[in-house]
RNA sequence: GGCGCUAUGGCCGAGUGGCUAGGCAGAGGUCUGCAAAACCUUCUACAGCGGUUCGAAUCCGCUUAGCGCCUCCA
C-alpha cells in the first residue's frame, strides 16, 4: 500500500496530506520570472523544482492546470523605476522587445533543462483589465485608497478583519515598530501599505490611462488577478521562491482576500535558495551563474562545463526546501553519478523480457526489488523528496547492472518483477525527475574511426570487409567516397 | 533590532527516537590477455554543553557558527 502524497504547507508550517479541492483536477500557480534580463541558475532551480512537482502530480494521475506567469511590467527598482522600462531605455529598445527577448531566452533555457511548459503562461500587460477590476473591488470594499493618482492597499484597515502576515509569520505591530525611514514625501498612509496602482512619472514609458491616473499596476497585483482568473478564487497550490514569501505572497493573499473574501491557494510551497559558498545566488551580490556559462564552463569559479541533465540531476539530489550549495566538487560528483544512472537507463531501456525464459524466482531478490520500487513512491510522496528517490533509484541501478553482467539472472526475478522494475525505473527517472539520456558522443569522430578501418582493409585488399563497412555506413546515411589520395565521406542525399 | 532556517562522515547531500540513505572520493576482493566497467565487502558521522527517555545524531533548553527574510530578488 502506497501512502498518500504529503506536502509541506508554508501557510500552516506543517506537512499535510495533499487533498485537491476538486480531484482529479489540480490548479497550481507559480510566480514566474521578471523578463528584464537573463535568468540565472538560482531562478532555474525554483522552476525545475516546480517542474518536478508538476510532473509528479501528473504521474499520479491528476489533471493539472499549471499556470506560471511572465512579469512584464510593474516590478520596480528601489529608484522607483520599472525594471523593464529601465532596460529598454538602456538598450534603446521598445519595452516589449525586452520582454520578448528575455522571455524567449527563458523558454529556451527551460527547454534545455527538459522542463514541461506551463499550461497557461499569462503576462501582466495582457491582464490590465483584470487588475483594474480588482483595484475597483478593493476600493469598494474599503481596503484601498487613492492618493495623488496612485492607489494603495490599506494594510492597517485590512488587518482589523484579517491577519496580515499569516504566511510569513509577521505581525503588523512588529513590522511597524521596525519600519525604516524610506523615501520621504510618500503618498501612503502607512509604510506597510503597498501600491496597487502607481501614477507614472513623465519619463515613464509603460503606462495605461485609468480613472486614477496615467500609470501602471503594482507588482503584487498581477499574480492575484491571474491566479484568480485561471484557477478561481480558491485553488490548490501556489508556489514560488522563499524570497517571495514576504512581501510578495503576503500581499497576494491580502489582495485576494480583499477582493473575493478568499485567500487563494490552499497549499503554499516555497523553494529554497541556491547558494554559492554559502551565500544566496543573486544578481545583486554578483555571484550568479548564467545557464550558458555553466554549460560551457566559461566562469571563473568553474573547472569545466556541465551538461543540462547533470545540472538537473545535481539539483534533484537535494530537497527543494533546503538550500543547495553550488561548487565544482559537488557538480563533478553529480556528473559522475549521473553518468552511472544514465548508463543504467540506457541498459534497461534496451532490455526486454526474453521469450522462452522460465522464471525460477529467488524470493529475496524479488522482495528487494519490489521494496526499492515502493520506496521510490514513498519518497516522492513525502513532500517530493527527490534526493531520497534518487537514492532508491541507485539501488535499482545495482540490480540492472547485475542483470547486465549476468551476476543476477533474469529467471531469479521473474517477468512480473522485471517489468515493474523497468517501468518504475524509467518512469521515475524520465517522467518524474525529468532526466533523460544524453549522448555526448561526437558522431563525426566515430565516422573517422570507422573510415580508418576502411582504409586499412582496402590496403590489405580485404574487399569483403571493405564492402561490409561501406554498406553498413550507407545504412546510417553515410556515403564513403574513395578519393585519389584519401578517403572522404558525405551524408547520403 | 524583529521573524525564521540550518549545522550530518574527506566532499555533496537525505533521513529517522532503537533497524545500511544515496552519489563522489578512499581501502580490500571477484571478474579480467591488458585496461575499464560492473558487482561484493569496508573505513571515516550526526557543532558544543545540559535535559527528557529504557534508549537521541533524531525531542526540549542553552551556547557557538552560518544563512535567509524584514528593501528588488526564484
CA dist list (Å): A35 to A85, A103, A219, A382: 11, 6, 13, 33
Q: How do residues A370-382 score in pLDDT, each as one tens digit?
A: 999 999 999 999 9
Q: Is there contact between A333 and strand B, defined as CB under 7 Å from any strand atom? A: yes
- Sign, Cα dihedral of A86, A92, A97, A103: negative
Protein CA A323 to sugar C1' B68 (Å) = 10
Q: Which three cell numbers stand for residue A398?
A: 545495482
Q: How do residues A106-151 score in pLDDT, each as one tens digit?
A: 999 999 999 999 999 999 999 999 999 999 999 999 999 999 999 9
- B strand bases under 7 Å from protein CB: 1-6, 10-15, 21-25, 37-40, 66-74
Buried b or exposed e, range A422-447, using 16+ CB within 10 angstroms: bebbeebbbebbbbeeeeeeeeeeeb
Q: Closest nucleotide (CA of A246 to C1')?
A: B69
pLDDT the model gives residue A492: 84
Q: Which three cell numbers stand for residue A26?
A: 489540480
Question: What angle (nearest 5°) sits at the alpha carbon of residue A237, between those of residues A22 and A251?
Answer: 125
Protein CA A221 to sugar C1' B65 (Å) = 40
Percent of chain A topping pLDDT 70: 97
Q: Is there contact between A86 and strand B, defined as CB under 7 Å from any strand atom? A: no
ipTM score of complex: 0.95
Q: Closest nucleotide (CA of A278 to C1')?
A: B67
Scan residues 179-218 of chain A and list those with Cβ within 7 Å of strand B: 179-180
Kindly tell me if the per-residue pLDDT of A420 is higher than 50: yes
Kindly tell me if the per-residue pLDDT of A184 is higher than 70: no
Q: In the predicted model, what is the mean pLDDT of residues A429-435?
A: 97
Kindly tell me if the per-residue pLDDT of A81 is higher than 80: no
Q: Is there contact between A286 and strand B, defined as CB under 7 Å from any strand atom? A: no
Scan residues 166-185 of chain A and list those with Cβ within 7 Å of strand B: 168-170, 174-175, 178-180
Q: Which three cell numbers stand for residue A281?
A: 545566488
pLDDT the model gives residue A269: 97
Amino acid at each position: 500500500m502506497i501512502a498518500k502524497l504529503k506536502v509541506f504547507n508554508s501557510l500552516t508550517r506543517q506537512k499535510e496530506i495533499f487533498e485537491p479541492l476538486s480531484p482529479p483536477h489540480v490548479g497550481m500557480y507559480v510566480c514566474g520570472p521578471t523578463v528584464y534580463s537573463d535568468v540565472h541558475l538560482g531562478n532555474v532551480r525554483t522552476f525545475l523544482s516546480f517542474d518536478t512537482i508538476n510532473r509528479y502530480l501528473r504521474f499520479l494521475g491528476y489533471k493539472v492546470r499549471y499556470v506560471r506567469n511572465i512579469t512584464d511590467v510593474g516590478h520596480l527598482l528601489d529608484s522607483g523605476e520599472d525594471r523593464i522600462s529601465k532596460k529598454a531605455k538602456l538598450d534603446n529598445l521598445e519595452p516589449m522587445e525586452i520582454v520578448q527577448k528575455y522571455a524567449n531566452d527563458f523558454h529556451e533555457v527551460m527547454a534545455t533543462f527538459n522542463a514541461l511548459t506551463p499550461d497557461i503562461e499569462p503576462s501582466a500587460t495582457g491582464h490590465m483589465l483584470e487588475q483594474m477590476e480588482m483595484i475597483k473591488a478593493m476600493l469598494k470594499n474599503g481596503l484601498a485608497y487613492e492618493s495623488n493618482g496612485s492607489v494603495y492597499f490599506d494594510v492597517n484597515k485590512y488587518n482589523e478583519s484579517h491577519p496580515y502576515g499569516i504566511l510569513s509569520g509577521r505581525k503588523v505591530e512588529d513590522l511597524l515598530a521596525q519600519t525604516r525611514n524610506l523615501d520621504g514625501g510618500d503618498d501612503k498612509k502607512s509604510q506597510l501599505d503597498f501600491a496597487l496602482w502607481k501614477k507614472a512619472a513623465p519619463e515613464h514609458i509603460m503606462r495605461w490611462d485609468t480613472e486614477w491616473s496615467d500609470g501602471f499596476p503594482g507588482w503584487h497585483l498581477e499574480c492575484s488577478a491571474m491566479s484568480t482568473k485561471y484557477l478561481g478564487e480558491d485553488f490548490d497550490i501556489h508556489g514560488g521562491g522563499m524570497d517571495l514569501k514576504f512581501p510578495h505572497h503576503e500581499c497576494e493573499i491580502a489582495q485576494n482576500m480583499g477582493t473575493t473574501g478568499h485567500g487563494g491557494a490552499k497549499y503554499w510551497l516555497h523553494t529554497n535558495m541556491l547558494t554559492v559558498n554559502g551565500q544566496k545566488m543573486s544578481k545583486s551580490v554578483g555571484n550568479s551563474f548564467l545557464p550558458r556559462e555553466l554549460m560551457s564552463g566559461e566562469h571563473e569559479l568553474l573547472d569545466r562545463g556541465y551538461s543540462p541533465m547533470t545540472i538537473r540531476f545535481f539539483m534533484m539530489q537535494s530537497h527543494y526546501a533546503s538550500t543547495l550549495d553550488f561548487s565544482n566538487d559537488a557538480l563533478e560528483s553529480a556528473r559522475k553519478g549521473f553518468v552511472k544512472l544514465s548508463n543504467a537507463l540506457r541498459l534497461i531501456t534496451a532490455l526486454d523480457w526474453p521469450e522462452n525464459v522460465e522464471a525460477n524466482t529467488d524470493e529475496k531478490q524479488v522482495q528487494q526489488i519490489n521494496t526499492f520500487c515502493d520506496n521510490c513512491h514513498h519518497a516522492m510522496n513525502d513532500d517530493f523528496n527527490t534526493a531520497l528517490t534518487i537514492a532508491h533509484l541507485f539501488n535499482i541501478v545495482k540490480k540492472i547492472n547485475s542483470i547486465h553482467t549476468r551476476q543476477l539472472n533474469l529467471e531469479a526475478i521473474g517477468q512480473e518483477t522485471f517489468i515493474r522494475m523497468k517501468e518504475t525505473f524509467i518512469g521515475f527517472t524520465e517522467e518524474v525527475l525529468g532526466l533523460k539520456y544524453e549522448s555526448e558522443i561526437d558522431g563525426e569522430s566515430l565516422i573517422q574511426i570507422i573510415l580508418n578501418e576502411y582504409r586499412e582493409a582496402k590496403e590489405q585488399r580485404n574487399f569483403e570487409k571493405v564492402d561490409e563497412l561501406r554498406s553498413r555506413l550507407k545504412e546510417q546515411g553515410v556515403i564513403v567516397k574513395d578519393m585519389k589520395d584519401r578517403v572522404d565521406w558525405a551524408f547520403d542525399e
